[in-house]
Amino acid sequence: MNYPVKHLKMKNLPMAKVTHDLQLIENRQLNPAYHLLIFKSSVAIPEVFPGQFAELLTPDSAATFLRRPFSIYNADYQLNTIQFIVKIVGNGTKKLCQLSTGAIVNIIYPLGKGFSISEGKSLIVGGGVGIAPMYLLSKWLTTNNREFDILLGGRTEADIINVKEFSEYGELDITTENGKLGQKGLITTHPWLKDPGSVYSRIYTCGPEAMMRAVARIAIASQISCEVSLENTMACGFGVCLCCVVATDKGNLCVCTDGPVFNINNLKGWD
């Protein structure tokens, strides 16, 4: 699906969120921990920006009555489908990954503010399930003729998913801590992050907070811009419960409405 150039100008305008009952049309197990869930809407899906997320209601579960937030992995406006990569970490994610095709899930989306477009060449750094918002970002940058490279990292090879899909959009490299796939070591030791300022003008990153903080420090040292997608624990997902606040130069802001994507220059304690 092509994203129109108007998206470049529309970044961060408030967008109507919808609450829809969507039908699960595919539940593809990628490996023991990760699933790709594809939902179909009976009506036109709203426009979605890379970095935005959705709140999914786990069906029939008193233990997980709060919705669970997931980055939007992909959206297809012709088929009216929306996709998520879900890593099983607890009850809610387990229940979602156990759903059979045909199941109906109530979903609120699109939520939050996504990534902004970069001017020069950029580097995408996705760690573990932080890979999820990076696919839509890769498509969006490609559609808007931006140059970028993609670096995916994980503890083991099981954390590196959908490599073929990603590599269709940019030059891609991989790190794993156990060395079974790609370069061995932490993602931050990859050569592309040695002196990123000499090649890139922007880093986009999502993953474990410690990884994003390390990437942010590299970006600061290289004097390049860096956007992080925070995954603070959330409940409501639209600015009511205040459980997701983060300290910024504008005071405490909700990650769910003012983020999840922030420029590190605006985050307190990220330098």
Site string for ligand FES, 211-250 (x = CB under 6 A): -----------------------xxxx-xxxxxx------
Give which of ligand FES, ligand FAD, none residue 91 binds (C-beta under 5 to 8 Å, depending on kind): ligand FAD
Applying CB under 6 A, the site for ligand FAD has a residue count of 22
Taking the least distance from each CB to ligand FES, the nearer of 143 and 257 is 257
8-state DSSP, 179: S
DSSP SS3 for 6: helix
Residue 117 to residue 37: CA distance in whole angstroms: 27
Give which of ligand FES, ligand FAD, none residue 243 binds (C-beta under 5 to 8 Å, depending on kind): ligand FES
CB of 97 to ligand FAD, least distance (A): 9
Q: Is 86 in the site for ligand FAD (CB under 6 A)?
A: yes
Residue 111 φ/ψ, nearest 5 degrees: -115, 150
Q: Is 260 in the site for ligand FAD (CB under 6 A)?
A: yes
Q: Is 108 in the site for ligand FAD (CB under 6 A)?
A: no
Q: Is 64 in the site for ligand FAD (CB under 6 A)?
A: yes
8-state DSSP, 5: T
Site for ligand FAD in 229-248 (CB under 6 A): 231-234
The DSSP result for 22-33, as a single string, is EEEEEEEE-SSS
Applying CB under 6 A, the site for ligand FES has a residue count of 12
Q: Is 146 in the site for ligand FAD (CB under 6 A)?
A: no
150 within 8 A of 158, measured Cβ to Cβ? no
Buried b (16+ CB within 10 A) or exposed e, 222-261: bebbbbbbbbeebebbeeeeeebebebeeeebbbbbbbbb
Q: Is 254 in the site for ligand FES (CB under 6 A)?
A: yes
25 within 8 A of 36, measured Cβ to Cβ? no
Q: Is 118 in the site for ligand FAD (CB under 6 A)?
A: no
Give which of ligand FES, ligand FAD, none residue 254 binds (C-beta under 5 to 8 Å, depending on kind): ligand FES
Q: Is 53 in the site for ligand FAD (CB under 6 A)?
A: yes
Tell me which residues touch ligand FAD (CB under 6 A). Answer: 53, 64, 68-71, 84-87, 89-93, 129, 132, 231-234, 260
